Structure formats: C-alpha cells, structure tokens
C-alpha cells in the first residue's frame, strides 16, 4: 500500500513517515501544497494524509481539486482546526476522516488501517482490472495486456501479478509473497517463489520491453517501470 503524506511540519512529518514505513507502507512525503498536489495527481496512492494549512496550496484545496476530477483516493486530514464548523468543512470538501493535532500515534495508525481496508473492499467490488506502467491485468479472466500483446496467465501467475501491481514500487520479501500465495496447509518447496517469478517475467517482459519485476538482492522484489 502506498501513502502520500503532505505536511510542512518536518518535526512531525519525518518521524511519522518512518513509523508508517516500519508498518510496511510505501511512503512519499511532500512539504508544501503544490508538491503534494502534483504527487497526488499521479493517482498511484492508496491513501492521502494531508495537513489542512500548507504553503502554496491548502490541503483542503488539494482535496477539493481531486474530488472535482473524480478521484476517490481516501483522504485523512491532520489539522489543528478543531471546531465543528472546521470538521464539517473538511468532510464537505471530500475528506474521509479527520484527526486533530496533537494526536496519539496508535489512533492515527488505526485510522490509516481502517481507511485502507475500506478502500480495498471498494476496489475489489467495483474494479476488475489493474493498470501499472503500461501493463494491464484482467482479474476475471487471468489475462494481461502489454504493448498490444495478450498474455495468458496461470492462476498462481495471475495472483502473483495482482499482488505486485497492488503494491507497485514497494519492496516485497520472499516471505510476504510466499504467505500471500499459499495457505498454511500448502507447503511447496522453498524455491517455488523464485521459479514462479521467472515464469511470470518471461511472459510480461518480452525482448525490448522495460523490465517490471526487479530483484532486490538478499531481500525480495520490487514491481514497476524503475527498480
């Protein structure tokens, strides 16, 4: 899961980004509204955490612009504004949740998890195709498309590719992949992940195409158009 954190308070933003990274999220940080809007417009994030008051462009304005463009990425506001009118204004702008500074870290992490669960449930029910870096995955039919090529996938290849695409840019360890693809009573050999990835690479990375599955030696794999 990828999170964009936009807040100009470095003493809050930097330690918070480290905590979120330790929780397993991919985190990008922006310290002003213009940079935050530019990153948010890339539509690669599962959650936006926005400060209300920002240099150049407010978090409220970022949220309003995204919603006016039809973007539904969940938004969590962090702000010192704590009146009822402020809360109503933030929610009316399209925010999904609201946390007043100062806050307890446990509460923020709980709200992050809740918003991401809600978003994942919505995505599963409404969208059956994923698109990352020019590759499209048809979840219903176990098919992928790249450069006008039709790529037929096995069930496990489709599951692996879906996992990669939903965590694009994030380091996934061998253990995480193994646990995602096989339940406890299935015990394939220890090298099955590497073998499955080799098979998937052959299918989605034709000669001359940009590699999408990148090996992070000694750790795992990262998916995307840059390693």
Q: What local confidence, expressed as pLDDT, does residue 125 receive?
A: 45
Asked if residue 86 and residue 165 are part of one domain, the reply reads no
Q: Mean pLDDT across the chain, nearest whole number? A: 86
Residue 112, SS3? helix
User: What local confidence, expressed as pLDDT, does residue 184 receive?
Assistant: 60
Q: Are residues 179 and 217 in the same domain?
A: yes
105 with 168, same domain?
no
Q: Which domain holds residue 28?
A: 2-126
Instruction: Tell me, yes or no, whether 30 and 108 share the same domain.
Output: yes
CATH at 194: 1.10.10.10
- Number of residues in the chain: 227
pLDDT digits (tens, 9 = 90+) for 122-152: 554 444 778 888 898 988 888 999 887 899 9
Could you tell me if 103 and 80 lie in one domain? yes
User: What is the tally of structural domains in the chain?
Assistant: 2
Give whichever of 88-92, 99-103, 186-190 has the largest mean pLDDT.
99-103
CATH classification of the domain holding 20:
3.40.50.2300
Domain boundary among 109, 126, 143: 126
What number is the average pLDDT over the span 27-33? 93
Res 122: pLDDT: 57
Compute the average pLDDT of residues 20-32. 90
Q: Tell me: the pLDDT tens digits for 148-171?
A: 789 999 989 999 999 999 888 899
The answer to whether residues 132 and 224 touch, using CB atoms and an 8 Å cutoff, is yes
Q: Are residues 30 and 10 in the same domain?
A: yes
Asked whether residue 88 falls in the same domain as residue 191, the answer is no
What stretch of H or E contains 131? strand 129-132
pLDDT digits (tens, 9 = 90+) for 195-213: 999 999 999 998 888 999 9
Phi-psi region of 185 (alpha: psi -120 to 50; beta: other; left: phi over 0): alpha
């Amino acid at each position: 899961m990828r999170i964009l954190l936009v807040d100009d308070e470095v003493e809050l933003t930097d330690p918070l980004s480290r905590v979120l990274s330790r929780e397993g999220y991919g985190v990008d940080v922006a310290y002003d509204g213009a940079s935050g809007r530019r990153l948010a417009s890339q539509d690669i994030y599962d959650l936006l955490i926005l400060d209300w008051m920002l240099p150049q462009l407010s978090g409220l304005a970022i949220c309003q612009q995204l919603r006016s463009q039809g973007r539904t990425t969940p938004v969590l506001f962090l702000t010192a504004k704590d009146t009822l009118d402020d809360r109503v204004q933030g929610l009316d702008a399209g925010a999904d949740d609201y946390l007043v500074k100062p806050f307890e870290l446990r509460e923020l992490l709980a709200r992050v998890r809740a918003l991401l669960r809600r978003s994942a449930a919505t995505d599963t029910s409404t969208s059956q195709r994923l698109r990352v870096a020019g590759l499209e995955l048809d979840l219903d039919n176990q098919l992928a498309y790249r450069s006008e090529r039709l790529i037929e996938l096995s069930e496990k290849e489709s599951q692996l590719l879906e996992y990669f695409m939903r965590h694009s840019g994030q380091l996934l360890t061998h253990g995480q992949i193994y646990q995602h693809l096989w339940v406890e009573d299935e015990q394939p050999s220890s090298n099955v992940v590497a073998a499955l990835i080799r098979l998937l690479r052959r299918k989605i990375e034709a000669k001359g195409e940009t590699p999408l599955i990148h090996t992070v030696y000694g750790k795992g794999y990262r998916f995307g158009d840059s390693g």
